[in-house]
Amino acid sequence: MSKIKAIGTVSATEKNPNTCDEFTFWLGNNVKISPFDIVKVENTVAGESSITYGMIEEIYHITDSPGHISNFVSSDFGVVGAESFTKKLSLTYAIASVIDNNNENYMPVPDGAIVYPADSEDIKNALGLLKEDDKRAIPGGLLKTSNGVSVPIMYNSDFLLGPEGAHLNISGISGLATKTSYVMFMLKAIQERTGDTAIIILNVKGDDLLRIDRDGNLSTNRRKQWELFNLECKPFKNVRYFYPYMRARGPDNVCSNTSLASSILQEQFESEIAKNYIYTCSEDKSKIELLLSNIDDPNWTLEAIFNFIETSTEFDDDDMNWDAFKSKVKEYANGKKAKSGEDKSQILVQSWKRFSRLIATSIQNDIFQNSQSGDSHKAQVHLSKEISKINTGDVLVVDIAKLNEQLQCMVFGDVIKTVYDLKHGEYVDERNAASIPKKIIIFVDELNKYAPKESPKNSPILNYLLEITERGRSEGIILFSAEQFRSAVHDRIKGNCSTNIYGRTNAIEVSKPDYKYIPKVYSNMITRLDKGDLIIQHPVFKTLLKVSFPYPSYELPNK
């Protein structure tokens, strides 16, 4: 360590002793450090030498002045810029939390030990990072220290994609936190580094993720950022898009309900990488419960209606269309069935009226079709059937941005239900189990819509999400999710995410219980992170880390 310039000396006092968890050191003159920097100290006990690594938490500057009045007086009684009458003793010192010791020696660092900045190899050893050529290594960002050291941070896929741990959650203010861009960087790295994974992405805002197969034409400097992780700066491969169907309208005769420019949309359909999804009564009436998953049902009356529709012979007609379905529901809602004595549901008319009212508006949407058209221009498909055909390396993008919240819930529920059924053998007649991707990642933004903190207990989507987050790591179903406010998400969902990312947020949010385990200086920094900077937590890392990441390699909407 003698070749590296020392930056300070460990200090232990009667009132502020060092512990096995943290130590204090004063800084030499003209030394610059920052929170999240990593330092190292030689820690010798009983003749055994070892290195203790610490991460900077707090930095203080003090003088021997007893109070601010003394400082005021010494400046010629408050003359700004006046030369002090007496030279004050002053120093800057820092508190570092212990993150590792290379010889499992966790005795407190002794007073007088010399402190050095960590180099790239020290940082990798301290954090337990995998080597970049390790098959389990998934790039997660670039750590930069104040002494100019940059280290690519590698996640361990065993804890990101299972089986040891799984699921990723990222939170932060929209725009400033760059949540979607970071997750897409992660997904691009996963597609390139793994050979057993498929990806499903839900596009929830504009056309943000509807051109990820198109090159972003980045500058040379931005391409070099990707080279730091040994990743190709290229768009996603094997991408297919699914749009909500709508009746043809406009001068371009478009049949897709999307914000994407019609010229690009046409290219996708001509290249046969885009389809329009629909829901027919004969195939999808059981999915109506997903449509109302965010509706509170304290008396389980909606649940009773769903069960009746599923089991009743009155609704068991392969030729039934949505018009006939609504008419049948109206017979129960207007009391006609009850008056004639034909009501076998044993469900109150008021409950049927509520159900009829709740579904009336949504089923008017164009994605609800009486039958699947054979017209190639309409390009209609059943979303669940297409998802059940997913192969390793595929990236499926499902656009739900222009649907209302109820329809978004239904489509998202359809996606996770299909993946869950696929991994549990429900499609064994349609495909060989060996051809199913070993791991399927589902990425959705605005998770708080589908798993809010106060979600209805009988919500089918919540139940699927709980099942996935609690057991998905061993079954190969992985959830990558994002939201503006972490505190608004169901506790069991976020509690089962092994990797958590924090983008810039506000002071009110960091005061919530979700942030209590984060040291105060770090939680304060979360409120003023620069755009593109994130704080990450991963089971393998022994502390929180601040990282940056490359600019997206695919075409963005503003281009």
Q: Tell whether the model's pLDDT for residue 313 goes beyond 70.
A: yes
What residue type is 398 in one-letter code?
Answer: V
Same domain, 182 and 75: no
pLDDT band at 250 (very low <50, low <70, confident <90, very high): low
pLDDT at 339: 56
User: What does the mean pLDDT of the chain come to?
Assistant: 89
Identify the domain boundary among 64, 93, 127.
Answer: 127
Degrees to nearest 5, angle at CA 537 with 531 and 543: 110
Same domain, 419 and 475: yes
Same domain, 256 and 299: no
Q: Are 19 and 96 in contact (CB under 8 A)?
A: no
Taking the C-alpha atoms of residue 174 and residue 504, their distance in angstroms, rounded to an integer, is 9
pLDDT in tens, 126-155: 998 877 678 889 999 999 999 889 999 999
Is 137 within the bounds of a domain? no
Tell me the average pLDDT across 531-555.
92
Is 204 within the bounds of a domain? yes
Taking the C-alpha atoms of residue 38 and residue 33, their distance in angstroms, rounded to an integer, is 9
Is 555 within the bounds of a domain? no
Sign of CA dihedral 350, 355, 361, 364: negative
Same domain, 449 and 542: yes
Same domain, 454 and 421: yes
Tell me the average pLDDT across 60-87.
80
Total domains, the chain: 3
Same domain, 379 and 345: no
pLDDT in tens, 476-514: 999 999 999 999 999 999 999 999 999 999 999 999 998
Look up residue 455 and give its two tokens.
């979600």
Identify the domain boundary among 127, 142, 175.
Answer: 127
Same domain, 370 and 227: yes
pTM confidence score: 0.90
Nearest to 283 by CA among 187, 427, 378, 385: 385
Name the residue range of residue 227's domain.
Answer: 153-282+365-548
Maximum distance among all alpha carbons in the chain? 102
Same domain, 350 and 442: no
Strand-pair partners of 245: 256
pLDDT at 368: 93
Q: Tell whether the model's pLDDT for residue 297 goes beyond 80.
A: no
